[in-house]
A and B are shown apart, each in its own frame.
Chain A
């Protein structure tokens, strides 16, 4: 599969979105709403549930399934209040030393008047900063598009995993082709050059694990759930200061 095929696949209609993962992996999920500042951003959903009996805070960027649902979730493009809600939930998790799991799937944070007025830059910046210093285990799984700063806002974790046909990139290949080459037709070239596929990301050290998709069947979720549970059980034994220091080193190496 070419890089561009993977780009298309990562955005494919019918691909499971964050809610599907939560349904299949998290037991007894209770959704918690709002940033307590401005609104509840439906592009980022969050709450608490259990994985293998262990309480976990789960945050997901949700694109929506059918058209009406996509509109309700703003196609997975979060506003500042989405990132502020995520930070609020992470801080709550930290207070009780509960692990935080993020499912990331966004073409990018929303670009619009309201988003700018309410400080999109500040919201993402503080989400990265707070997440990277969180005194509790964190894991982010990229399940579709890992689009730029909007994705990084929820990827400042102990480890970042990615499913086989997902991408993680500083800019969309379309944006890259049109800015750099003034030719939006060269999307396939840009996809190649940006090194945004799971294989590239592993070799660059940007992700720790590639999750095989196996057609997103029952076995896929069961395996992913087991891997997440094992990871969090291991991380829970690490002292908080060490977790933060390890995370510092993880990002410092780039």
Chain B
């Protein structure tokens, strides 16, 4: 496999080399050679979860290409991707001239993120390409909730909300910022840390995620403007181990608050996290205290902090800066809680009621100030910021 991938990584970019990504069979499932995601396929070509076009063994219809349906975020799930019924996909794309024609191979493959195998073969180039950004463009995607095919443009136009069923997709840290900010300048972009406890497998995992996402860790920090009001911001990224908090995440968030204290700015925090990053052990736990201390100091300086809790906000992050804000916004439908639902079900040995720990439940129990729909997030944030901004009210 590695040899095939290395060939694909060579100078000859194009359809043929791209096709040599291939598919591995795992029982009755097909595994994407590029990202390791699994999918079922009935036709000769399939598409990996990462957006790569794949050629099945024994291809019968070499003129057909299928486009990946799953979000690149499935990488964060360690390759145990959701299985996509290729049947549904093929039914849509087979013979569809429009989709076929829109598919720009050159652009597609030059922007493609590198995977772990390639990285080890050809580290420099993979790194460079990962830094250029990017997740490949996808033409059509499948909604994780309703299973319907949605054009990628449609998803984008609806802020990552499925136009067919209203399902809120996870969106990455930068997409979240650009959705709400008119202007954004990144800070602390070079912040990164290694495997502090020499935890087995963690170094490799970090390297893989860095290559796949082009991010150093699970949070993006900076400052910018919402509705003309300047504020500091941090935004967490689900693609990086579901936004788990290790040293880098904690450090960047603490630095964001310290920067805001120095510049006398409010902080808007987009929270998304499964909790502490266990591979960093006690250092990860200490990030809860470190970030809390920074939030407290910022608050004592008389400055505003708004947290936006998105799906999911649980564990150590929920039990620290997520719930320490002056104003806590819960994004519609988000899962928010201390323990994850599965852990609770195991502890109490009963099934949890529908809607338990969802944003609506959190508001009803008195722990969120308001629920905001994604499409209204920017407007609501700018209104709240304006109400706290001295100049805006002078």
Question: A residues within 8 Å of B by Cβ?
Answer: 109, 111-113, 115-122, 124-126, 128-129, 132-133, 148-149, 152-153, 155-156, 168-171, 175-176, 179-180, 193-196, 200-201, 204, 206, 247-248, 251-252, 254
- For chain B, residues 1 to 58, give those with C-beta under 8 angstroms from any C-beta of chain A: none
- For chain B, residues 331 to 372, give those with C-beta under 8 angstroms from any C-beta of chain A: 336-339, 343-344, 347-348, 352, 356-357, 365-367
B276 A171 Cβ-Cβ under 8 A: yes
Q: CB within 8 A of A119: which of B294, B295, B366?
A: B366
Q: How far is the CA of A180 from the CA of B276 in the complex (A)?
A: 13
Give chain B residues whose Cβ lies under 8 Å from the Cβ of A109. Answer: 319, 338
B343 A111 Cβ-Cβ under 8 A: yes
Q: CB within 8 A of B282: which of A125, A129, A156, A170?
A: A170
Q: How far is the CA of A134 from the CA of B336 in the complex (A)?
A: 28
A126 B276 Cβ-Cβ under 8 A: no
Cβ distance A203 to chain B, nearest Cβ, rounded Å: 11
Cβ of B287 under 8 Å from chain A: yes
Cβ of B289 under 8 Å from chain A: yes
Give chain B residues whose Cβ lies under 8 Å from the Cβ of A128. Answer: 288-289, 292, 319-320
B290 A252 Cβ-Cβ under 8 A: yes
B324 A126 Cβ-Cβ under 8 A: yes
Q: How far is the CA of A153 from the CA of B295 in the complex (A)?
A: 16
Q: How far is the CA of A109 from the CA of B318 in the complex (A)?
A: 13
B286 A125 Cβ-Cβ under 8 A: no
B285 A149 Cβ-Cβ under 8 A: yes
Give chain A residues whose Cβ lies under 8 Å from the Cβ of B336. Answer: 121
Question: Do most interface residues of chain B lie in helix, strand or loop, or is the interface mixed?
Answer: helix
Q: CB within 8 A of B315: which of A118, A149, A200?
A: A149
7 more contacts with CB within 8 A, not counting A119-B365, A149-B276, are: A111-B347, A113-B348, A113-B352, A121-B338, A132-B292, A168-B282, A251-B290
Give chain B residues whose Cβ lies under 8 Å from the Cβ of A176. Answer: 278
Q: CB within 8 A of A194: which of B278, B289, B348?
A: B278
A112 B322 Cβ-Cβ under 8 A: no
Question: Which 8 residue pairs of A and B lie closest in terms of their CB atoms, listed nearest first?
Answer: A111-B339, A254-B286, A121-B318, A120-B338, A124-B319, A122-B323, A125-B323, A170-B285
Residue of A nearest to B337 (CB): A116
Q: Bits for B287-304, please: 1 = Cβ < 8 Å to A, else 0.
A: 111101111110010000
If A125-B321, A179-B278, A252-B254 touch, whether A247 touches B293 (CB-CB below 8 Å) is yes
Cβ distance B307 to chain A, nearest Cβ, rounded Å: 10
Give chain A residues whose Cβ lies under 8 Å from the Cβ of B384. Answer: none
B287 A254 Cβ-Cβ under 8 A: yes
Q: How far is the CA of A223 from the CA of B300 in the complex (A)?
A: 38
If A121-B337, A124-B338 touch, whether A170 touches B276 (CB-CB below 8 Å) is yes
Residue of A nearest to B357 (CB): A116
Q: How far is the CA of A129 from the CA of B289 in the complex (A)?
A: 8
Give chain B residues whose Cβ lies under 8 Å from the Cβ of A201. Answer: 282
A206 B282 Cβ-Cβ under 8 A: yes
Cβ of B197 under 8 Å from chain A: yes
Q: Bits for B163-185, please: 1 = Cβ < 8 Å to A, else 0.
A: 00000000000000000000000
Cβ of B110 under 8 Å from chain A: no
Cβ distance B178 to chain A, nearest Cβ, rounded Å: 28
A148 B285 Cβ-Cβ under 8 A: yes
Residue of A nearest to B309 (CB): A121
Cβ of B250 under 8 Å from chain A: yes
Q: CB within 8 A of B344: which of A116, A122, A126, A155?
A: A116
If A111-B343, A204-B282 touch, whether A129 touches B197 (CB-CB below 8 Å) is no
If A132-B292, A148-B285, A149-B285 touch, whether A115 touches B278 (CB-CB below 8 Å) is no
Residue of A nearest to B297 (CB): A248
Residue of B nearest to A132 (CB): B293
Q: How far is the CA of A176 from the CA of B339 in the complex (A)?
A: 15
Q: How far is the CA of A224 from the CA of B199 in the complex (A)?
A: 34
B348 A129 Cβ-Cβ under 8 A: no
Give chain B residues whose Cβ lies under 8 Å from the Cβ of A113. Answer: 344, 348, 352, 356
Name the residue among B281, B282, B284, B288 with the largest chain A CB count within 10 angstroms.
B282
A254 B318 Cβ-Cβ under 8 A: no
